[in-house]
């Protein structure tokens, strides 16, 4: 599974990227508003830090304007992935951008049939929002399972499933079990994946016992 971080905070991205475990970044208009800096500057900075796909979302909801915005965003760096909403206009833009060789991430996916259309439009990634479905009292992970099954039924579809709106370590585990290709997670969740109380307890014991030996490795 590939790991993307879901943030527009460049300092956070640099910190996680230093681990060598980061495969890409997703942003959205809400994350850009939170960062409170110039959008295109943020995207350029992120693309310089992370060589993998960096999702930058169009602001328009209308096809012609979406295409204009997409072309501006795609020119920022070669690793920009244009993020488009899963609407009729967004799918039309996805199809057109794909034919131009521009990578796309079709976002705000809440049903398997939406994901089928995104794949048919040639999306590089489709982003089902797990957490927001859970928030409504439904099972977000079921959507990942359905999309996986549908895509596997049609080998001609090459869209990657990017599990989004991930809130917990359990979401990451279940998305991996369900066969999602990518999880995009807040940086805090990514770091929490490495933690386990028994790891900490065991390490404390090993460190204490090693000190008793009085030895040094270097």
Q: How far is CA 80 from the centre of its chain?
A: 13
Tokens of 126: 């489709």
Q: Which helix (H) or strand (E) holds 108?
A: strand 104-109
Q: Is 2 in the site for ligand E4P (CB under 6 A)?
A: no
Nearer to ligand E4P, 173 or 201 (CB): 173
Sign of dihedral through CA atoms 127, 128, 132, 134?
Answer: negative
Alpha helices in 75-184 (DSSP H): 88-99, 112-120, 130-135, 140-153, 169-177
Considering only residues 96 through 135, tell me which ones interact with ligand E4P, judged by CB under 6 A.
Answer: 107, 127, 129, 131-132
Nearer to ligand E4P, 191 or 196 (CB): 191
Q: How far is CA 151 from the centre of its chain?
A: 18
Q: Is 184 in the site for ligand E4P (CB under 6 A)?
A: yes
Active-site residue identified among 83, 95, 120, 191: 83
From candidates 3, 17, 28, 147, binder to ligand E4P by CB under 6 A: 28
Question: Least CB distance from residue 129 to ligand E4P, whole Å?
Answer: 5
Active site residue 14: no
Nearer to ligand E4P, 29 or 202 (CB): 29
Question: Least CB distance from residue 55 to ligand E4P, whole Å?
Answer: 6
From candidates 143, 165, 183, 190, binder to ligand E4P by CB under 6 A: 165
Which residues are CB-contacts of 179 (< 8 A; sequence separation ≥ 6)? 144, 145, 148, 152, 161
Question: Least CB distance from residue 74 to ligand E4P, whole Å?
Answer: 17
Nearer to ligand E4P, 116 or 164 (CB): 164
Nearer to ligand E4P, 87 or 210 (CB): 87
Please choose, from the candidates 125, 119, 121, 120, the residue with its C-alpha nearest in 3D space to the C-alpha of residue 103: 125
Under 8 Å between Cβ of 73 and 58: yes
Question: Least CB distance from residue 156 to ligand E4P, whole Å?
Answer: 25
Whole-number CA gyration radius for the chain: 19
Q: For residue 61, how many other CB atoms are within 10 A of its CB?
A: 12
**What is the 8-class DSSP label of residue 27?**
-
Q: Is 159 in the site for ligand E4P (CB under 6 A)?
A: no
Active site residues: 83
Q: Which chain residues interact with ligand E4P by CB under 6 A? A: 6, 26, 28, 107, 127, 129, 131-132, 164-165, 184
């Amino acid at each position: 599974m590939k790991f993307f971080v879901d943030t527009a905070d460049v300092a956070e991205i640099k910190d996680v990227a230093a681990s060598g475990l980061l495969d890409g970044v997703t942003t959205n208009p809400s994350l850009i508003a939170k960062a409170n800096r110039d959008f295109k500057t943020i995207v350029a900075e992120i693309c310089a830090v992370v060589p993998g796909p960096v999702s930058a979302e169009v602001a328009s909801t209308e096809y012609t304007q979406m295409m204009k915005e997409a072309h501006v965003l795609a020119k920022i760096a070669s690793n920009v992935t244009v993020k488009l909403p899963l609407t009729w206009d967004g799918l039309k833009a996805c199809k057109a951008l794909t034919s131009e060789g521009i990578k796309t991430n079709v976002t705000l996916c809440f049903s398997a049939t939406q994901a089928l259309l995104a794949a048919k439009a040639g999306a590089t990634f489709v982003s089902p929002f797990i957490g927001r479905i859970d928030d409504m009292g439904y099972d977000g992970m079921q959507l990942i399972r359905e999309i996986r099954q549908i895509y596997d039924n049609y080998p001609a579809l090459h869209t990657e499933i990017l599990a989004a709106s991930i809130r917990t370590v359990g979401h990451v585990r279940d998305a991996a079990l369900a066969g999602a290709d990518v999880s995009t997670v807040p940086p805090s969740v990514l770091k929490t994946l490495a933690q386990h109380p028994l790891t900490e307890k065991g390490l404390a014991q090993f460190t204490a016992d090693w000190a008793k030996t009085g030895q040094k490795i270097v």
